[in-house]
Amino acid sequence: MRIMFVGDSMTIGSAGDFTWRYRMWQHLNASYGGPYKIVGPREELYEPAADAPVSLDYGDPDFPVRARAHLAGWGEGWQHMAPLVGDAVRAGRADTLLVSLGLIDLGFYTDAEQTAANVRRFLAAAREANPRVRAVLMPVIPNVRALADPDFASEVERFNELLGKAVADLDAPGSPLLLASHPQGWDIDGDTYDGTHPNASGEHRIAAAFADAMHQAWDVGGPYEGRP
């Protein structure tokens, strides 16, 4: 199994973060009995002082370089990753994608329908690179803006409906797709440090949503046991 994490600021993480990628790595080490590798063209965290992805200051300095790989970017969404994913899948020979994207698209770039079209572009490119690639897709987790802006909240809800439809339409026996559940018990105040980005608790909840989807549908690993 060759896993690639794909995401926006919630996935790349900021300097000093552990990241949900780290929590997932711990989970796989504890519960997955087969060989696996984490792949991707990037390994850095976002550094706020530089406003650029140049930090290697992970919350756990012993997080090994080989497990830090990803395709995630601060301020990047489906429209940014769709042109990149094919080359990344080829280069890393990825066969399993764990994808958390959409909030930044809806917030700054595209409406729900346009964002859903980019989901389909992304999946087509990934499958062109590896016709047997499988993917778990995370619905957009509403952030603090969704609490204050009803129109934005409606776009998030609409996109999540369209994401579910895309998964249902495009799921195939040779290239299965899963829609992860919304992270169980998610609380904006308790699971983020700024209304959007996950703190330690939020990292565990996101990792758990991906891990439980993979365990239940594909018998990969066990139930997530890392919740605080």
User: Which residue in this structure is represented by tokens 């997932």?
Assistant: 24
134 bridge partner residues: 96
Separation CA 56–CA 191 (nearest Å)? 23
How much is the CA Rg of the chain, to the nearest whole Å?
16
Please say if the pLDDT value at position 20 is more than 90: yes
Q: Average model confidence (pLDDT) for the chain?
A: 97
Tell me the CA distances in angstroms from 38 to 28, 92, 99, 158, 195, one per residue in order: 10, 9, 14, 32, 29
Separation CA 89–CA 194 (nearest Å)? 32
Tell me the whole-structure pTM to 2 decimals.
0.97
Question: Residue range 41-52: average pLDDT?
Answer: 98
**Each residue's pLDDT tens digit, 92-132:** 999 999 999 999 999 999 999 999 999 999 999 999 999 99
At residue 43, what are phi and psi to the nearest 5 degrees?
A: -140, -10
* Per-residue confidence (pLDDT) for residue 227, from 0 to 100: 72
Domains of the chain from N-terminus onward: 2-218 (3.40.50.1110)
**Each residue's pLDDT tens digit, 163-201:** 999 999 999 999 999 999 999 999 999 999 999 999 999
* Per-residue confidence (pLDDT) for residue 172, from 0 to 100: 97
pLDDT band at 228 (very low <50, low <70, confident <90, very high): low
Separation CA 227–CA 23 (nearest Å)? 9
* Per-residue confidence (pLDDT) for residue 226, from 0 to 100: 80
